[in-house]
Structure 1
């Protein structure tokens, strides 16, 4: 129908007669319907509105039904690698799903047996960005494993010191028609083995790099070490143990700072591990040379350690640049620059004289040679100012330690190979309450270590080894002895006969 026909007089006469419908109620609806049907534009608009309303209501009802279904029948658990329970949950998922899942990823590790033969260890786990389903206690659980591309996590190897960057991983577990406490029981089962390992060993904590969130616990605990396994000079172990026991048994608030100093490889860190094992404490290790630390973050982690923990600041001297060496480098660079300028000037003058026909006398030749030497010396590369080994300042450490000392029940250990390099403000009374030198082996330590490694050795073998070690002109550290004894495991005579291999 054209627009002109829509506005024709007949149309208006029909519409104008609409008022007369009221006089005859029985014909009102049929005539109205006839009007709508005779005008497709008006009828189409009403139809679109009607069906749109039906679609909206259907979508709303579906959304409400889905929400109600998920609220009453679906239970979801989300956990990321930043949660200390993540590895325990991931381990349980691996054990339950590796034989049920069709999409797997594998982590292979090469290990070596005691006889030196290598072998492979494979660990299967659900593939990333795939959905997996497994049964746990007759309950179906759907697992989705993914990595968060915009988040990374850095982990520092406590043995090599290497920092590895990993993406933060997330596990989403979903199950249906389960009791409200299902996930509580699931997490309890997942953490059961991990908690047993924690009881058997020592939990090691390190700060989360770049995250400012505090401490992260190492997945694997460190084996406990008895005080009897640490062989030091007579009285050292007893003296420090007695000092710690005095405060631990009294149950009163205490704040203690300890400094262990001495050559490398003498067992300072091993002694601290044994003390932590004896008093059932965790160890929080802070490497000040880690450039992800700053004063603010150091203050946070050092004042908010996990419960029942001691704080260990390892090799604290290595964190700072020796000021005397820094000044020497600056002075040498100035001398190099000055010598270079003088040498270039004298060399240019001598060459200019020769160019104008003046013969070079013997003195001129010496001056020219010296000038070239100065110029060559001046061309040596400058010693670039060494970069700071840490973003932590001395004042930042002092403020953090003062914060620790103002809190209750805090134990701080520091180790250093060079006590004389430490600032006096760092080790003053109040920050350091107890200092102990840990040195190289003494004749008594030679004997005790030999008998500990070789329980079936004869007295003659032990005395022969002690005599050889005592007569050695060079000092021997416990680490050197241990390496030698391991090399000749179960062979005390071999350890004696090959004593010269100790380096």
Structure 2
């Protein structure tokens, strides 16, 4: 080793390493280079430079997808919840209330109602805190309100039960084109990632999370019923959430609704009886009669009384065929109400038969028949959509037919239906709905103008909207205000006297319940004027 001096400092120079470089350095600048090499600060910066370079190289290597993602994916439990599943609604409602979402800067804005948060919770005339909060503002466009939903392809993370959970809302549309008949919303899904060392731990956290989300959702929806709509791809989508209709608001002939409610409750409690005797556990109801007589309203109120959701099966869709019908029927939950409205319109045979029978006596019905069938083909085989009578019968009570459901079919003309469709075993209970009689008119009047006698007060422990006389919550009707605030309060006796006068002025079996309700709506705050003007309205 050779020692080179410059001032009082010395730097040992390893000749084997430096000689090749120093040979090319000009002599005038050689002292300057040696001085820089003897500086401790420069040596420290060179160390930092080398260390930073090594760390950056390691980051780039570890950042490759085949190493980092593969490592962490082994620690995550991945779960996907499709929009057609009920759990999608549970998780979406639960997550939108968490701080992880309420404090986010990324979200979607929608005017579509999403259950309890929508304006469906507002009841006109009620002054409780919930209705005051949900009352649509005057400047709102048709009462629409803004709802905030998770943005697509955006991660939202939060802690749950000591576990890190990430939620992402996705849309399964990789090709960029939406299939015909499918809305983009039906392709939504929620992706859940749960950080857990073992799959057992991850599944336990997932089940606990879904359990809490379901409990919170059912608590919000305990005073409501859900309406589901089937599509041609075999899935169900939640179309609406409605307040339960009070059973007392249904005005039918004496004993009709009581008979229906008793039969439905007996069926739901008799599964073991059906199984022991080898009878298919299914029940069918055919409601037929004049339009506006309360068939659909009865089903709505019955679903709230029984606590069952309504699943609407639309047979008139042109994209609905036998296979799609069997798929959606097979996806029905164990206990529910399956509804087929206007079942006679599913086939042109029913429409043609009705028009043919009525055209001879009613010229106004001429020209309403559907297109004629091709030569040599029975008109009954021509359906509006792609559903055949055989496919419909198999869906109702075939070998693969679903059990445990209450099937309701409505029609305005029973004679338009094929006898095979309404035989016992497919339609077990047949109820006819006629125009209103005087007893129904009187009961409807009383329903429109409820009164509270002095001393009658609502139970403070019950909901502001619902009373539970039979452990089933139903919507209560608050007293409507009178036109003149200084007028005397309407007593029960006065109301009953007005109801009798109103019923006496209505002809027997001439007007439907919907027609009478339409007239009462014109005078919903003035029963006296309603009675005084009913004769002129009848004429």
Q: Give the alignment's TM-score, normalised by structure 1.
A: 0.64
- Residue 438 of structure 1: how far off its partner (Å): 0.7
Kindly indicate whether the alpha-carbon contact (under 8 Å) linking 1:443 and 1:466 is maintained by their aligned counterparts in 2.
yes
- Residue 234 of structure 1: how far off its partner (Å): 1.2
Q: SS at 1:121's partner residue? A: coil
Change (3 A) 1:154 1:88: farther
Q: SS at 1:221's partner residue? A: strand
Q: SS at 1:401's partner residue? A: helix
Kindly indicate whether the alpha-carbon contact (under 8 Å) linking 1:76 and 1:173 is maintained by their aligned counterparts in 2.
yes
- Decide which of 219, 233, 254 is 1:196's aligned counterpart: 219
The equivalent of 2:11 in structure 1 is none
RMSD over equivalenced CA pairs, Å: 4.0
Distance in 2 between residues matched to 1:68 and 1:194, nearest whole Å: 36
Matches within 5 A, 1:42-441: 63=66, 67-72=70-75, 74-96=76-98, 97-108=100-111, 114=124, 118=138, 119=140, 121-133=145-157, 141-149=165-173, 150=175, 166=185, 168-174=187-193, 176=195, 180=202, 181-207=204-230, 209-212=231-234, 214=235, 216-218=236-238, 220-250=240-270, 251-253=272-274, 254-322=281-349, 325=352, 388-403=383-398, 409-441=404-436
Kindly indicate whether the alpha-carbon contact (under 8 Å) linking 2:171 and 2:189 is maintained by their aligned counterparts in 1.
yes
- Residue 306 of structure 1: how far off its partner (Å): 0.9
Q: Which moved more, 1:305-314 or 1:173-182?
A: 173-182
Q: SS at 2:84's partner residue? A: coil
- Residue 236 of structure 1: how far off its partner (Å): 1.5
Distance in 2 between residues matched to 1:323 and 1:236, nearest whole Å: 27
Matches within 5 A, 1:479-490: 479-490=514-525
Kindly indicate whether the alpha-carbon contact (under 8 Å) linking 1:441 and 1:475 is maintained by their aligned counterparts in 2.
yes
List alignment gaps of at least 5 residues for structure 1.
1-54, 156-162, 330-382
Kindly indicate whether the alpha-carbon contact (under 8 Å) linking 2:282 and 2:406 is maintained by their aligned counterparts in 1.
yes
Change (3 A) 1:461 1:164: farther
Distance in 1 between residues matched to 2:351 and 2:312, nearest whole Å: 29
Q: SS at 2:445's partner residue? A: helix
Distance in 1 between residues matched to 2:352 and 2:74, nearest whole Å: 67
Q: SS at 1:204's partner residue? A: strand
Distance in 2 between residues matched to 1:79 and 1:132, nearest whole Å: 16
Change (3 A) 1:66 1:227: closer
Aligned residues: 382
Kindly indicate whether the alpha-carbon contact (under 8 Å) linking 1:129 and 1:146 is maintained by their aligned counterparts in 2.
yes
Kindly indicate whether the alpha-carbon contact (under 8 Å) linking 1:299 and 1:403 is maintained by their aligned counterparts in 2.
no
Per-residue Cα deviation, 1:2-33 (whole angstroms, up to 9, x for no partner): xxxxxxxxxxxxxxxxxxxxxxxxxxxxxxxx
Change (3 A) 1:488 1:153: farther
Q: SS at 2:507's partner residue? A: helix
Change (3 A) 1:79 1:311: closer
Distance in 2 between residues matched to 1:261 and 1:391, nearest whole Å: 24
Kindly indicate whether the alpha-carbon contact (under 8 Å) linking 1:484 and 1:502 is maintained by their aligned counterparts in 2.
no
Structure with bigger helix share is: 1
The equivalent of 1:478 in structure 2 is 513
Distance in 2 between residues matched to 1:100 and 1:418, nearest whole Å: 56
Distance in 2 between residues matched to 1:154 and 1:113, nearest whole Å: 37
Q: SS at 1:490's partner residue? A: coil
Q: SS at 2:334's partner residue? A: coil
- Residue 301 of structure 1: how far off its partner (Å): 3.2
Change (3 A) 1:494 1:193: farther
List alignment gaps of at least 5 residues for structure 2.
1-57, 114-118, 126-135, 275-280, 357-369, 374-381, 452-489
Kindly indicate whether the alpha-carbon contact (under 8 Å) linking 2:329 and 2:401 is maintained by their aligned counterparts in 1.
no
Kindly indicate whether the alpha-carbon contact (under 8 Å) linking 1:87 and 1:219 is maintained by their aligned counterparts in 2.
no
Distance in 1 between residues matched to 2:193 and 2:341, nearest whole Å: 44
Change (3 A) 1:172 1:295: closer
Kindly indicate whether the alpha-carbon contact (under 8 Å) linking 1:206 and 1:218 is maintained by their aligned counterparts in 2.
yes
Change (3 A) 1:404 1:231: farther
Distance in 2 between residues matched to 1:141 and 1:406, nearest whole Å: 40
Asked whether 1:465 is paired with 2:518, we answer no
Distance in 2 between residues matched to 1:399 and 1:419, nearest whole Å: 20
Kindly indicate whether the alpha-carbon contact (under 8 Å) linking 1:405 and 1:431 is maintained by their aligned counterparts in 2.
no
Per-residue Cα deviation, 1:255-311 (whole angstroms, up to 9, x for no partner): 332211101111112222333333333333212112232112323433552111232
Kindly indicate whether the alpha-carbon contact (under 8 Å) linking 2:186 and 2:237 is maintained by their aligned counterparts in 1.
no
Kindly indicate whether the alpha-carbon contact (under 8 Å) linking 1:145 and 1:172 is maintained by their aligned counterparts in 2.
yes
Change (3 A) 1:399 1:104: closer
Distance in 1 between residues matched to 2:165 and 2:84, nearest whole Å: 22
Q: Which moved more, 1:295-304 or 1:233-242?
A: 295-304
Q: Which moved more, 1:231-240 or 1:260-269?
A: 231-240
Q: SS at 1:296's partner residue? A: helix
Q: Give the alignment's TM-score, normalised by structure 2.
A: 0.60
Distance in 1 between residues matched to 2:65 and 2:421, nearest whole Å: 67
